[in-house]
């Protein structure tokens, strides 16, 4: 039996990182009700600030929202301090704009602080992590690091990140911020009992399905607790035609993160529970991979993903109405809408012996070499403020780590079943992310490609991959 990440909404209260203010904004029947408390810090009373504004979604004002957030807590840092903060970051143009706005708000408090935001392309998380470590080793200034869970353990092993537990524990505003973050997000960036990053966003894998196509084919929409057999029956009914008119029931997500749910829903994983050893010799791994292979070669409900030059893509077929379903997280939704495609909804991954999905997280950390750790902490709080997280949520790529934003009307408006994104945190597993993540990913995807190309059976591919991966894991142990 695999170890599950099962979290209750109250479980974070036992972490010791939560306290301070509590604020609840409830929107019901067009009326917003605000419940506030006063927070006493060092005999000063800090009151939440209400900011009333209109929220727009797709050009339409849907609610007048009362934003309730603590103002910046009193700081021992001189507001006139002159300093320079260097950030190692990743993302696109929209991210740069969102972060620049957060920097501008920060500079209202600390006008003489120069912020240098260095964006670095991500080809692999191992390469990205090694670049972070190299910058620290070179003696170049580095204060804040933005990195995903796939790179967390590598940079921690290289002593790049500073534990943040004391900064959170001694800051009422920081505690309030953490109380708005699901404990699973916090655990993702906790290594050996120490918190190294503040989560800002995350993604998972769910099924996206074409509602119009399912209705046209007379296929009942999937239920939350559906199983592999029902999934296969549905995929078969959605598959028809040939040539340019051919439709496929399912598009295989041909990447490491996208394949994780097939393992997890069969109660297995690539690695042992402690991420120390290969688990690719588990018969359940072979069973799951055989099921995926058979979608192409036996049941013919999926197109070939072995790299034979079909030119087909999941997103292209999905928006063209030729793909009944595939697997993504939240990241493609804005692209689908930009392509004028909105006849889709989302549902949990079909289960076999389990109903667990995968999740990956991103977060802000502070460099061990930073000479401005407290100032960097103040900037991280701004980068993770409700205003910043709302802006990143509006960009539509990731799921916000802050619960109040992920459960807000504007985030949940579309797709109809969007609530399952945040709810899935109660039954998920972290994407296996050992310090040698790049080796793990490379070995597994090579084996998967060999299996899908029919050059090896599922059993042969996983057996060979297990030997190679175990050697890599033993090397990691030293």
Q: What is the pLDDT of residues 359-394, one digit of tens each?
A: 999 999 999 999 999 999 999 999 999 999 999 999
Do 322 and 377 belong to one domain? no
What is the domain count for the chain?
A: 2
User: Does residue 216 have a pLDDT over 60?
Assistant: yes
Higher pLDDT, 4 or 363: 363
- 233 and 131 in a single domain? The answer is no
**Does 61 score more than 60 pLDDT?**
no
Tell me which residue of 426, 391, 395, 390 sits closest to 406, measured CA to CA: 390
pLDDT value of position 21:
30
pLDDT at position 307, please?
60
What sign has the CA pseudo-torsion 211, 300, 355, 195?
Answer: negative
In this structure, are 70 and 162 located in the same domain?
Answer: yes
Instruction: Evaluate whether 231 touches 222 at the Cβ level (below 8 Å).
Output: yes
Work out the average pLDDT over 402-424: 96
Q: Are residues 140 and 75 in the same domain?
A: yes
> Within a domain: residue 3?
no
The predicted pLDDT at position 264 comes to 98
Is residue 25, in this structure, part of any structural domain at all? yes
Q: Is the model's pLDDT at 178 over the cut of 90?
A: yes
Residues 174 and 237 in one domain: no
* pLDDT above 70 for 51: no
pLDDT at 396: 87
155 is a domain residue: yes
Domain boundary among 407, 428, 449: 428
What CATH number is given to the structural domain containing 107?
Answer: 3.40.190.10
**Same-domain status, 343 and 374:** no
Provide the residue range defining the domain that includes 132. Answer: 11-204+359-428
Q: Do 190 and 256 fall within a single domain?
A: no
User: Is residue 2 assigned to a domain?
Assistant: no
Cβ(267)–Cβ(354) below 8 Å: yes
- Confirm whether 471 is domain-assigned: yes
For residue 72, what pLDDT band results from cuts at 50, 70 and 90? Answer: low
Q: Which of 364, 471, 402, 430 is nearest to 150 (CA)?
A: 430
Residues 183 and 266 in one domain: no
- Angle separating helix axes 256-264 and 437-452, nearest 10 degrees: 80
**CB 168, CB 174: distance < 8 Å:** yes
Last residue of a domain, one of 428, 445, 461: 428
Statement to judge: residues 212 and 192 lie in one domain: no
Q: Are residues 94 and 76 in the same domain?
A: yes
State the average pLDDT over residues 104-108.
Answer: 98
427: tokens are 């039954």
Q: How confident is the model over 151-164, as a mean pLDDT? A: 95
Average pLDDT of the chain is 86
Say yes or no: 272 and 387 in one domain.
no
Determine, yes or no, domain membership for 4: no
Handedness of CA 249, 254, 257, 260 (dihedral sign): positive
pLDDT number for residue 304: 92
Closest by CA position to 358, among listed 263, 254, 230, 229:
263
What is the model's pTM?
0.84
Q: Are residues 183 and 276 both part of a single domain?
A: no
Q: Which two structure tokens, joined as six digits, stand for 287?
A: 């069973």
């Amino acid at each position: 039996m695999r170890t599950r990440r099962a979290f209750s909404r109250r479980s974070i209260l036992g972490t010791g990182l939560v306290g301070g203010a509590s604020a609840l904004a409830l929107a019901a029947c067009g009326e917003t009700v605000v419940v506030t408390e006063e927070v006493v810090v060092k005999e000063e009373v800090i009151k939440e600030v209400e900011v009333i504004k209109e929220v727009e979604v797709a050009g339409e004002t849907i609610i007048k929202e009362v934003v309730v957030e603590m103002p910046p807590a009193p700081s021992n840092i001189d507001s006139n301090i002159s300093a320079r903060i260097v950030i190692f970051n990743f993302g696109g143009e929209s991210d740069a704009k969102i972060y620049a706005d957060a920097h501008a708000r920060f500079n209202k408090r600390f006008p003489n602080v120069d912020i240098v935001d260095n964006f670095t392309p991500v080809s692999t998380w191992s390469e990205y992590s090694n670049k972070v470590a190299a910058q620290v080793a070179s003696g170049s200034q580095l204060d804040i690091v933005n990195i995903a869970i796939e790179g967390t353990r590598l940079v921690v092993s290289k002593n790049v990140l500073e534990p943040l537990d004391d900064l959170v524990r001694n800051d009422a505003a920081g505690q309030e911020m953490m109380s708005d973050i699901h404990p699973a997000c916090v655990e993702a960036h906790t290594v050996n009992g120490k918190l190294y990053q503040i989560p800002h966003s995350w993604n998972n894998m769910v099924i996206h399905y074409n509602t119009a196509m399912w209705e046209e084919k007379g296929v009942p929409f999937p239920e939350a607790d559906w199983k592999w057999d029902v999934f296969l029956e549905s995929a078969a009914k959605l598959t028809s035609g040939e040539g340019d008119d051919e439709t496929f029931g399912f598009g295989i997500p041909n990447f490491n993160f996208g394949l994780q749910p097939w393992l997890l829903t069969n109660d297995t994983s690539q690695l042992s529970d402690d991420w120390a050893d290969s688990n690719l010799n588990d018969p359940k791994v072979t069973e799951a991979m055989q099921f995926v292979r058979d979608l192409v070669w036996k049941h013919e409900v999926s197109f070939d993903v072995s790299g034979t030059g079909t030119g087909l893509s999941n997103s292209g077929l999905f928006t063209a109405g030729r793909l009944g379903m595939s697997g993504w997280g939240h990241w493609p939704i804005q692209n689908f809408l930009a392509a004028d495609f909105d006849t889709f909804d989302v549902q949990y991954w079909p289960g076999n012996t389990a109903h667990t999905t995968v999740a990956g997280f991103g977060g802000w950390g502070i460099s061990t070499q930073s000479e401005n750790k407290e100032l960097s902490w103040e900037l991280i709080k701004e980068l993770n403020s409700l205003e910043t997280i709302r802006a990143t949520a509006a960009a539509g790529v990731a799921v916000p780590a802050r619960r109040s934003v992920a459960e807000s009307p504007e985030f949940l408006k579309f797709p109809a079943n969007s609530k399952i994104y945040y709810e899935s945190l109660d039954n998920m597993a972290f994407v296996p992310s050992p310090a040698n993540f790049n080796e793990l990913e490379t070995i597994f995807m090579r084996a998967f490609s060999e299996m899908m190309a029919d050059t090896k059976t599922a059993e042969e591919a996983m057996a060979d991959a297990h030997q190679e991966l175990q050697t890599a894991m033993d090397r990691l142990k030293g």
